Amino acid sequence: MFYSYAWNEGSETFVSKLYDSLKKGGIGVVRDKNDLQYGQSISEFMRSIGKGGLIIIALSDKYLKSENCMFEFCEIYRNSKQEMKELRKRVIPVRIENLKLDDPATVEAYLNYWKEREQQWKSLVNSHGYNQEQRRRVEAIYNSNKDLLPLLRDINASSFELLTQDDFRANKETIEKRLQQAH
């Protein structure tokens, strides 16, 4: 099981507390700050998250604007053969903050953000011959968001406050159920 989250105070608090609680309960969790070794490729580590059978995604505005986080999410999507049913089996989203993904203006802002980022990388590649892979990665994020944002809106991700109650009981029950279904 993996975590995918943006490094910020809200996500860090949740991730650290849930990580400790799961470890105490004997559930193994792979987390970048604990498992990414010095000198190891960050891209390869993110790809391994994308191949994971179960991934907790701590959703925040910073997550949805982070190239690394969204690359991980795109890798999860790609390794789910871009099938929503398969993707839903593999992710456990947690809302660290209210993202208002049911508001068309909010969704448009995220799509515009990634379109602008893709254009910036494209310009850099065209002007200076810079890393084409980076542009392709951002382009994939932009294109995948058309499917991923509606999915995130549709999944009951509950709230940070509700999920932290009773030592993460709701999360642990969901995780244990999903792990049993995988075997």
Quote the pLDDT of residue 40: 86
Question: Which residue ranges form the domains of the chain, and what is each CATH number?
Answer: 2-182 (3.40.50)
Counting DSSP H helices and E strands in the chain, the numbers are: 10, 3
| Residue 34: Cβ-neighbour burial (10 angstroms; 0-12, 13-18, 19+) | exposed
Quote the pLDDT of residue 159: 66
pLDDT values of the chain reduced to their tens digit, one per residue, 183 residues = 898 989 876 677 778 888 888 888 888 888 888 888 888 888 888 889 999 999 989 888 999 999 999 999 999 999 999 999 999 999 988 888 888 999 999 999 999 999 999 999 999 988 888 878 888 999 999 999 999 999 888 877 666 677 777 888 888 888 888 888 876
Quote the pLDDT of residue 14: 79
Quote the pLDDT of residue 73: 95
pTM: 0.87
Quote the pLDDT of residue 109: 97
Q: How far apart are alpha carbons 68 and 53 in whole angstroms?
A: 19
| Residue 178: Cβ-neighbour burial (10 angstroms; 0-12, 13-18, 19+) | middle
> 146 near 111, Cβ under 8 Å?
yes
* Ramachandran area for residue 29 (φ above 0: left; ψ -120 to 50: alpha; else beta): beta
